[in-house]
Structure 1
Amino acid sequence: DSLPDNYRAVLILRDVEELTNEEVAALLDESVSSVKSRLHRARMVLREELTRVFAGSAASLGRIVTSATSVPEAGGTQR
């Protein structure tokens, strides 16, 4: 819900519905440059929100994966 509606619409039409910038612009009755600008801003807002929400989870996951796997030494034995 933190993504404004005008950003959400462009993001969904481009990244989910896979319309071209030109198709989105025609559908929303806007210029292609406006669509590109809002798409960029929408992706930045989404990236910031996902980073904020999952930053701790990603760090924890990285530690879990790193500790659960080890690189085998030459000869195929694992420590």
Structure 2
Amino acid sequence: MKEKPSIVYMLINTQAGKEREVVKEAKKFPGVTEAKVVYGEYDVIVRIELNDFSILSETVTLIRRIPGIVKTATLISA
């Protein structure tokens, strides 16, 4: 039986006015299935599906390097 992919969400704070640029760049990464501007405590939410959980750290690190990102929180779906 094929395992379901792991679902990871990244909540991102950006510099003012950088939200849409961060969304555009985040969508370029493998595994990113969705990236959207949101209102509230965070500015952007990114949904990542990973078949190989061992690459989570690398994927998160690459996304964090996008210019304009100030802070991130990573949530792993149960």
Greater Rg by CA: 1
TM-score band w.r.t. shorter chain:
under 0.3
Which of structures 1 and 2 has the larger relative contact order (alpha carbons within 8 angstroms, sep 6+)?
A: 2
TM-score, normalised to structure 2's length?
A: 0.27
Structure number with the higher helix fraction is 1
TM-score, normalised to structure 1's length?
A: 0.27
Structure number with the higher strand fraction is 2
